[in-house]
């Protein structure tokens, strides 16, 4: 609903106005200027972006190429070139049948940990961020400072304390041991507060209250829909975070049936070559490719919201 | 309750000294483990065949139920085990490789096995490996497999270019020159850049003693004369591009598959990895005794594992029974190698016929690689001890090793740095270091 153009910040407008000689509506593109310095900087930027793209895409290319190779070709041919045969489908069928299809189970586990966990974490974050922004309650800023401290502490540093607590309450090696920590997302609360300040005008809430809506109803019916982009942004952040979290599941889980996919792949990968079962190495390669797919699909699906959310947050 | 807490306190205080003195297993009291016939055992391992060995044990021991859980290998596993012991959720039996054993023992994370498996360890194993699990006068683990060094080489390449199999390190250097001259792409050795295990073994073989104990203090000498000799030798080979610098994972196996590595020093277990990973070079590989400095047999170990009972295990008696079966019983050893593809070398010399019978030697042209392994095992230089902070020691070496070939750093300087890092960490953990 909020196009980035309508949000153009007034502070930066005068500066641009002076530079482009009064033509406010026509944005000066660097190419039209024909100045060597501009051309140079454009080349430099393009080169840096190209390098960054290579840096991201080359491993992906290796992964795609390697996934289509037989075990022989995997070591016999160049990693970035196709192999002699096309073994993707036999690799895939091997992947989904190994150990009675444990890989599919890992994928489902990960979707539960990351999908359901991030969904709930986002609901909590948005509600809390909204409360911090719009509601008045005692010691509000002090509590918010606590949330910010939570943002500063890296998730990896929390893994061991969480594990010790889980051991005390008997959650070690259970689904809940990994799921529950994923529900807490301090950075999401912080983001939600910023978004709430940007997207939900106080006047609208006042109007809702005047019309007789209670606080909960005002949040649920008025504010929550306005926070849609915030919801998607926070969800994607937390989803990727849980999807990628490694150390917590590593210490928390011992039963392979509860593993998220990255831990399962690591299991295969870490002992494949040293313990002399290279077929697991190929499984880890193909499994990595398949495990990337859901993330790509999710990002493509939610890209529209995600982009809107990012730009809106940036300009405010 | 109070007494137990006092004992625990006393134990953790003595852990600050050198080695923990008999904390833990005393509580079990009563009948020795061997007679225990019922129980539940949780079993953590990353070793190939662990699932089969657990299943075979369950079949033959109806009273004891072993639950096997796969764990990843490497440093991640050891932090997982360490945290499990701290949290009281440790398994009853866990695999610990020899280098990591002192670290777990000194931190008081293992049950003392003196009264249960100690006698077995004393009677069944040669000194060179017994010394790796007996620390401070107590037994902390039972060896399963050892990893004596061997030389692997491409017999077709050596025959075609009339290269002799080296018996000394001087001849080995000549061999690497001949290999490079015969095929500019091929190399006769590897300096592994992600794992210091082989380099450590080569120092051990040369007579180095990186760690020792004197009274209640650790002695650390990564920079002794033997280590410096080995470091200079391998650093020189790498800098002259006579051996390639590769990681132990796919870069190494790719080089083997693409005929760029035609000889390398590795342990006994590499035979199984070699035939599984590069199956189409069947018949082209042979093994030979590892070269030595003076031509007389000398060897060391690159790898090997033991099984321990972590502190906090719920059923130590059943755990001891299980460990005894999987390390010293012929039926247990047979279960490890049931797949026929593992070239694991048993730590108990009496069990060599069991693994030898299971290993299919077709890949090595029918060569009796276990005979080479046996003589290498006999020649392992005794007296080696692993240090109490091998994670730190290894990281200090690995962090710089990839710069050796380019001449950025001397290998002996890396050992000197690792020496300092090790001493610092031992002191940091409250243990003493002998001057």
The distance of Cα B426 from the centroid of its chain, to the nearest Å, equals: 21
- Domain hosting residue A256, numbered range: 95-315
Model-level pTM?
A: 0.83
The answer on A103 and A50 residing in a single domain is: no
Which domains does chain B carry?
28-146+304-343 (3.40.190.10), 149-302+363-433 (3.40.190.10)
B66 interfaces chain A, CB cutoff of 8 Å: no
In this structure, of A31-45, A222-236, B177-191, the range with the lowest mean pLDDT score is: A31-45
**pLDDT score for A89:** 92
The answer on A29 and A172 residing in a single domain is: no
**Of A68, A86, A104, which residue is a domain's last?**
A86
Beta bridge partners, B244, equal B190
The answer on A134 and A190 residing in a single domain is: yes
Which tops the pLDDT comparison, A198 or A21? A198
CATH number at residue A306: 1.10.3720.10
**pLDDT score for A15:** 42
Which of B73, B80, B269 minimises the CB distance to A276? B269
Which of A168, A250, A256 minimises the CB distance to B76? A250
DSSP character at residue A5: G
Measured CB to CB, residues of chain A less than 8 Å from chain B are 72, 74-76, 160, 163-164, 166-168, 172-173, 250-251, 254-256, 263, 266-267, 270-271, 273-279, 281
- First and final C-alpha spacing in chain B: 41
**Residue A48 pLDDT > 60:** yes
Contacts of residue A260 in chain B, CB cutoff 8 Å? none
The answer on A137 and A23 residing in a single domain is: no
**pLDDT score for A158:** 87
Q: Give the three-state DSSP class for B306.
A: strand
The answer on A214 and A288 residing in a single domain is: yes
**Number of structural domains chain A divides into:** 2
Which of A273, A274, A276 minimises the CB distance to B341? A276
**pLDDT score for A147:** 94
Q: Tell me the shortest Cα–Cα distance from B31 to chain A, in angstroms.
A: 31
Q: Tell me the shortest Cα–Cα distance from A125 to chain B, in angstroms.
A: 30
**Contact by Cβ (8 Å): B275, B155:** no
The answer on A132 and A33 residing in a single domain is: no
- Mean pLDDT along residues A238-252: 92
C-alpha separations of B292 from A129, B153, B221, B298, B386 in Å: 69, 16, 21, 6, 22
Task: Give the dihedral sign, CA A101/A106/A112/A114.
Answer: negative
Residue A312's pLDDT band (cuts 50, 70, 90) = low
ipTM above 0.85?
A: no
**pLDDT score for B209:** 94
Residue B260 tokens, joined: 């760029």
Residue B219: its H or E element: strand B217-220
**pLDDT score for A307:** 64
Which of B89, B249, B272 minimises the CB distance to A276? B272
**Residue A230 pLDDT > 60:** yes
The answer on A240 and A303 residing in a single domain is: yes
d(CA B215, CA B213): 6
**Contact by Cβ (8 Å): B377, B391:** no
Contacts of residue A251 in chain B, CB cutoff 8 Å? 79-80, 83-84
C-alpha separations of A292 from A56, A262, A287 in Å: 13, 10, 9
Residues of chain B with pLDDT under 50: 1-36
The answer on A232 and A125 residing in a single domain is: yes
Q: Tell me the shortest Cα–Cα distance from B212 to chain A, in angstroms.
A: 28
**Of A36, A67, A86, which residue is a domain's last?**
A86
Contact call for A273 and B84, based on CB within 8 A: no
């Amino acid at each position: 609903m909020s196009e980035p153009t309508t949000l153009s910040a007034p502070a930066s407008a005068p500066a641009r106005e002076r530079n482009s000689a009064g033509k406010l509506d026509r944005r000066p593109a660097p190419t039209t200027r024909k100045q060597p310095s501009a051309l140079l900087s454009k080349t430099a930027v393009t080169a840096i972006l190209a390098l960054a793209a290579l840096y991201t895409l080359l491993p992906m290319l290796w992964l795609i190429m390697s996934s289509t190779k037989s075990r022989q070709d995997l070591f016999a041919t160049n990693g970035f070139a196709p192999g002699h045969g096309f073994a993707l489908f036999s690799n895939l069928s091997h992947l989904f049948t190994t150990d009675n299809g444990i890989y599919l189970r890992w994928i489902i586990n990960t979707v539960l940990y990351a999908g359901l966990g991030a969904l709930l974490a986002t609901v909590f974050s948005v509600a809390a961020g909204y409360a911090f922004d719009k509601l008045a309650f005692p010691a509000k800023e002090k509590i918010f400072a606590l949330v910010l401290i939570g943002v500063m502490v890296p998730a990896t540093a929390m893994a061991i304390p969480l594990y010790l607590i889980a051991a005390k309450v008997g959650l070690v090696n259970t689904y809940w041991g990994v799921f529950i920590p994923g529900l807490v997302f301090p950075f999401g609360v912080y983001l939600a507060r910023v978004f709430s300040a940007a997207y939900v005008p106080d006047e609208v809430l006042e109007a809702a209250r005047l019309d007789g809506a209670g606080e909960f109803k005002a949040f649920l019916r008025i504010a929550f829909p306005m926070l849609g982009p915030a919801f998607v942004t926070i969800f994607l952040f937390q989803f990727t975070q849980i999807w990628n979290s490694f150390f917590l599941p590593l210490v928390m889980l011992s039963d392979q049936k509860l593993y998220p996919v990255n831990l399962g792949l690591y299991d295969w990968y870490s002992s494949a070559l040293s313990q002399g079962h290279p077929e697991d190495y190929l499984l880890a390669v193909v499994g990595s490719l398949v495990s990337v797919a859901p993330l790509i699909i999710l990002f493509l699906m939610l890209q529209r919201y995600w982009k809107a959310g990012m730009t809106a947050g940036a300009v405010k | 309750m109070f007494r137990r807490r006092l004992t625990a306190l006393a134990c953790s205080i003595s852990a600050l000294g050198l080695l923990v003195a008999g904390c833990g297993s005393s509580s079990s009291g009563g009948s020795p483990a061997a007679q225990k016939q019922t129980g539940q055992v949780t079993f953590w391992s990353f070793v190939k065949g662990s699932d089969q060995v657990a299943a075979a044990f369950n079949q033959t021991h109806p009273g004891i139920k072993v639950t096997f859980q796969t764990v990843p290998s490497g440093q991640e596993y050891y932090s997982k085990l360490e945290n499990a012991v701290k949290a009281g959720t440790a398994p009853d039996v866990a695999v610990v490789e020899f280098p990591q054993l002192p670290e777990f023992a000194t931190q008081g994370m293992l049950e003392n096995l003196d009264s249960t498996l100690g006698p077995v360890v004393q009677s069944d194993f040669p000194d060179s490996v017994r010394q790796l699990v007996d620390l401070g006068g107590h037994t902390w683990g039972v060896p399963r497999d050892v990893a004596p060094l061997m030389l692997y080489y491409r017999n077709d390449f050596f025959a075609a270019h009339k290269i002799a199999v080296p018996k000394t390190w001087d001849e080995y250097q000549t061999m690497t020159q001949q290999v490079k001259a015969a095929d500019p792409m091929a190399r006769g050795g590897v300096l592994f850049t992600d794992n210091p295990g082989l380099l450590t073994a080569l120092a051990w073989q040369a007579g180095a003693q990186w760690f020792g104990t004197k009274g209640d203090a650790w002695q650390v000498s990564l920079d002794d004369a033997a280590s410096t000799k080995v470091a200079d030798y391998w650093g020189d080979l790498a800098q002259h591009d006579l051996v390639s610098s590769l990681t132990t994972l796919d870069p190494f196996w790719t080089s083997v598959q693409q005929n760029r590595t035609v000889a390398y020093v590795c342990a006994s277990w590499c035979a199984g990895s070699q035939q599984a990973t590069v199956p189409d070079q069947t018949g082209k590989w042979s093994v030979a005794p590892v070269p030595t400095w003076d031509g007389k047999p000398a060897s060391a170990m690159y790898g090997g594992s033991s099984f321990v009972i972590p502190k906090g295990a719920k059923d130590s008696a059943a755990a001891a029974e299980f460990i005894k079966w999987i390390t010293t019983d012929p039926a247990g050893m047979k279960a490890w190698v049931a797949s026929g593809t593992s070239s694991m070398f048993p730590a108990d010399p009496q069990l060599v016929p069991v693994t030898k019978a299971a290993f299919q030697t077709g890949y090595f042209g029918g060569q009796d690689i276990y005979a080479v392994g046996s003589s290498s095992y006999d020649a392992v230089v005794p007296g080696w001890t692993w240090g109490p902070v091998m994670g730190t020691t290894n990281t200090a070496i690995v962090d710089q090793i990839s710069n050796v070939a380019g001449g950025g750093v001397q290998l002996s300087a890396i050992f000197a740095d690792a020496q300092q890092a090790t001493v610092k960490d031992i002191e940091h953990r409250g243990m003493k270091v002998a001057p």
